[in-house]
């Protein structure tokens, strides 16, 4: 895995260097680019795409025993991701809730799950769904919901809105209409 990470990083460094040259900026503007390829490659590999190297099943794989039917809610988990359309970041908060089937994930595991889902080239809608579905698939939750609210730099820099926040809500699993509504209300910001 480490060799693949280094090779990707090397390829990425070359691509970033080419990108910087391709901007065709005056020399005085490029004087700070010397370390840019290395810094950008490291940032992308270690943060923006690390979710591809994280196994959702492993993250949730060591649950503890707990009461069946308990509702667990964790709010305000830091979230950031990278827009696959513009390669610009979004950041905000994620809120997750699930109905236990007797298996409980640690709170740190739930934060790591949000990181694994977000640290990819992924749409916010897909990240919300991925997190909720992982709780059902890998933790055995009867039902799960995930809401993400985030600001998208692609909206801000293109002058569309400086204050907008995008909210996505996803549900997975099986629950009655009443349980589903309650679970979704628990994750809504």
List the structure tokens of 8: 């990707």
Distance CA 113, CA 58 (A): 10
Residue 1 pLDDT class (50, 70, 90 cuts): very low
CATH class belonging to 62-187: alpha beta
- Coil vs helix vs strand at 92: strand
Q: What are the CA-CA distances from residue 176 to residues 99, 136, 179, 180, 181 (Å)?
A: 12, 15, 5, 6, 9
* 103 contact partners, CB below 8 Å, separation of at least 6: 63, 64, 65, 66, 139, 140, 141
Distance CA 73, CA 133 (A): 15
Which residues are registered as beta bridge partners of 101? 68
Distance CA 61, CA 38 (A): 34
Instruction: Give the model's pLDDT for residue 4.
Output: 55
Residue 3 pLDDT class (50, 70, 90 cuts): low
Mean pLDDT of the chain: 90
154 pLDDT higher than 80: yes
Picking from 111, 39, 52, 37, the residue whose alpha carbon sits closest to that of residue 82 is: 52
- Model pLDDT for residues 157-183, shown as the tens digit of each residue: 887 777 889 999 999 999 888 888 888
Task: Choose between 109 and 156: higher pLDDT.
Answer: 109
Domain boundaries, the chain: 2-48, 62-187
Residue 111 pLDDT class (50, 70, 90 cuts): very high
Distance CA 48, CA 89 (A): 9
Kindly report which listed range (20-24, 42-46, 51-55) carries the lowest average pLDDT score.
20-24
Distance CA 43, CA 31 (A): 20
Q: Region 20-41: what's the mean pLDDT?
A: 84
């Amino acid at each position: 895995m480490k060799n693949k990470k280094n090779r990707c990083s090397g390829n990425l460094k070359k691509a970033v260097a080419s990108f910087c040259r391709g901007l065709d900026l005056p020399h005085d503007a490029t004087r700070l680019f010397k370390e840019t390829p290395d810094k950008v490659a490291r940032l992308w590999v270690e943060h923006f795409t690390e979710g591809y190297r994280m196994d959702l099943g492993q993250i949730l794989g060591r649950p503890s025993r707990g009461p069946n039917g308990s509702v667990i809610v964790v709010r305000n988990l830091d979230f950031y991701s990278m827009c696959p359309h513009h390669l610009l970041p979004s950041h905000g908060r994620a809120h997750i809730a699930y109905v236990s089937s007797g298996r409980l994930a640690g709170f740190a595991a739930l934060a790591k799950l949000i990181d694994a889902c977000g640290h990819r080239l992924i749409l916010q809608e897909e990240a919300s769904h991925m997190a909720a579905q992982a709780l059902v698939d890998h933790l055995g939750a009867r039902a799960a919901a995930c809401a993400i609210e985030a600001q998208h730099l692609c909206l801000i820099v293109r002058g569309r809105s400086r204050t907008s926040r995008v909210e996505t809500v996803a549900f997975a699993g099986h629950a009655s209409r009443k349980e589903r509504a309650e679970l979704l209300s628990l994750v809504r910001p």
